[in-house]
Amino acid sequence: MSVLIVGSTALDSIKTPKAENPRLLGGSASHAAVAASFFAPVKLIGVVGEDFPKKYVQLYKKHGIDLEGLQMVPGKTFQWSGEYEVNMNNRRTLATELGVFETFTPVLPPAQRSTPFVLLANIAPSLQSHVLDQMKRPKFVAADTMDLWLNIAMGDLLQLLKRIDLFVLNDSEARQLAQTDNVFVALKKIHQLGPRYVIIKKGEHGSILSSAAGLFIAPAYPLAKVIDPTGAGDSFVGGMMGYLTSAKGSVDSNLRRAMIYGAVAAAFCCEGFGVNRTTKIARADIEKRVKELEKMTKF
């Protein structure tokens, strides 16, 4: 089984109180694809410009990521720059240059249209829907989002929610979407919009899954040092969908453990700039932390 991942592929410039790093490999699809690649074959759908460094193409390939659906077109790769405050929780965008992303239309290679697992990582919901239009009866579809789309593309997002199995969003987005302060009330309202499974990401406080089987409260992996949290949420959904794609049995019986794998992938992401740390680990490093989380949550 393999997983198809669509999202943004970008060059990120990230400033923290301690360092500044230009032109890192970034974007929701890059983080998600690298995290998923530890578990299952990944097919990446995205777009980059002529300036996209060859070393990043090599990095994707090193992770066995299928690049047939990665368009390389004239123009500049999507660039984002942001800055973190001292506590690493508050981030502000310094600049966004869409480049080739502005006219991006995802096109799925024919051979990929029947991929069983689909992760619609964070991009405009109309593009996420456009990917689904090209798919043949996928087994399981998950979508991530961001506050921007709640502000400027709510109609598109509501259309998308009727077509997916799992919706992933963070706690402030959930409150905004459901117009309530309480995340458990929000979960119920979001189910009514379509998805059978809803996951609320709470960063360092873990995540919560809601489904017909009830709630699952998942921890975050504890980190004494956070270098750069950019892409942690994307790594979470990537790791989770990668594990889910690889696991035998029903989604219902695997999703909880998949979230733990996602939490570990997110933690590794936070320990380096861009994908610097995530691309230097092995599956065994992930397994070790999953076992640690098992110990840390048993009672």
Q: Which residues bind a copy of itself (CB under 8 A)?
A: 86-88, 181-182, 184-185, 188, 202, 205-206, 208, 214-219, 222-226, 256-257, 259-260, 293-299
Q: How far is the CB of 258 from a copy of itself (least distance, A)?
A: 9
Q: How far is the CB of 94 from a copy of itself (least distance, A)?
A: 22
The minimum distance between CB 227 and a copy of itself, in angstroms, equals: 12
Residue 115: which of 26, 231, 242, 29 has the closest Cα?
242
Nearer to a copy of itself, 162 or 291 (CB): 291
Q: Of 120, 117, 64, 66, which Cα lies nearest the Cα of 244?
A: 117
**Least CB distance from residue 270 to a copy of itself, whole Å?**
12
**Residue 133 or 181 with smaller CB distance to a copy of itself:** 181
> What beta strand segments (E) does the chain contain?
3-6, 10-15, 20-26, 42-48, 66-72, 78-84, 91-97, 117-120, 140-144, 166-170, 197-201, 207-211, 214-218
Check: CB of residue 34 under 8 Å from CB of residue 238: yes
φ, ψ (nearest 5 deg) of residue 258: -60, -40
Structure-block tokens of residue 148: 């921007």
Query: Please, which residue, 113 or 175, has the CB nearer to a copy of itself?
Result: 175
| Polymer length of the chain | 299
Listed as own residue / partner, the contacts of 282-288 with beta carbons closer than 8 Å and 24 or more positions apart are 282/38, 283/38, 283/39, 286/38, 286/239, 286/261
Provide the minimum distance between the beta carbon of 168 and a copy of itself in the complex, in angstroms, as a whole number. Answer: 17
Nearest CB to a copy of itself, comparing residues 81 and 245: 245
Task: Tell me whether residue 92 or residue 298 sits nearer to a copy of itself (CB atom).
Answer: 298
Measured from the CB atom, the residue of 77 and 254 that comes closer to a copy of itself is 254
Least distance (Å) between residue 196 CB and a copy of itself: 18
The conformation of residue 205, written as its DSSP 8-state character, comes to: G
